[in-house]
Homo-oligomer: A and B are copies of this chain.
């Protein structure tokens, strides 16, 4: 059955519809592997200037849909616009990633949650512009970083492989940590609700650092704040569709899905297909999970794996995606082939 003219297949899948072929998008689909993206990126200084320019951010958001038959556009932005809007200035250093002045336990009072939404107005303007430019069958995905993940940058001051600074902060300063999470939960609810009002059809919660936590910490720092965001958002917008992506959740992914109330769960590529298909509730949407390096290498191994993923999740709501962001060295021809394989067989 082909979709009605205005149905959005990807949104429908998030809401539980089973499709013959999975709709798809690609994490970081507007990114450095595209020459047209690099051209726009070269026009601005700091990476955040791109996120805060509605004109340029709209342009790069739409670029991948001009090339590939993808079912969704995702707002071009960054999870760190939230701390930046809270007043903890973020800059991106070439080859180093984001850099912030690390938050101290007594520094919470300096955050300005009351000003955050106003400062995020250019990002919301991008959502509006993208929405008006997007074909009606395409889903518009908004997003924010989940509180733990955002906190790891706010506390550590930069990315780190083990998030040690934030993990120690949470153990040593539980009250300050809880207060920080409160700020991030409330700001995220308001920010996501504003994205929906500006035109987003669905939002994704990026918990990029859900790994490196034991089960107690995972419940406290990942499940509970994500659950509060979903709950708070739905108080404002009942039935708001939410995808949760707890990267590295591993053995806790079932509990995450059950307790947070998200409609769909993003699977990183380390989640075994059998494990996901066999242990997660059959009505839960699953998104993922091709290893981005299989897409870089291309050829039969990539096609076989893509087909195995489609096959493993057949008969349940499935959105095809990578299991992590597409990397800059990915050949465009491999992306074209992946779309053919997923869409065509």
Contact = CB atoms under 8 A, between A and B. Distances in A.
Interface of A: 161, 164, 167-168, 171-172, 211-218, 248, 250-252, 255, 269-276, 289, 291, 293-294, 296-297, 301, 305, 308, 323, 327
A215 B248 contact: no
Nearest to A312: B215
Give the copy number. Answer: 2
Contact of A213 (B255, B270, B308): B270
A274 B171 contact: no
A136 to B, nearest CB: 35
Among A270, A273, A276, max chain B CB count under 10 A is at A270
A129 B161 CA distance: 37
Chain A interface mostly helix, strand, loop or mixed?
A: helix
26 contacts: A164-B293, A167-B293, A171-B293, A171-B294, A171-B296, A172-B297, A211-B248, A212-B269, A212-B270, A213-B270, A214-B270, A214-B272, A214-B289, A214-B291, A214-B294, A214-B323, A215-B272, A215-B274, A216-B308, A217-B291, A218-B272, A250-B250, A250-B251, A250-B271, A251-B276, A252-B275
Contacts of A216: 305, 308
A293 B168 contact: yes
A271 B218 CA distance: 11
A305 B270 contact: no
A211 to B, nearest CB: 6
Contacts of A164: 293, 327
Given A171-B297, A217-B291, 14 more contacts: A161-B161, A171-B293, A171-B296, A172-B297, A212-B269, A213-B270, A214-B270, A214-B305, A214-B323, A216-B305, A248-B250, A251-B251, A251-B272, A251-B275
A149 to B, nearest CB: 15
A168 B305 contact: no
Contacts of A297: 168, 171-172
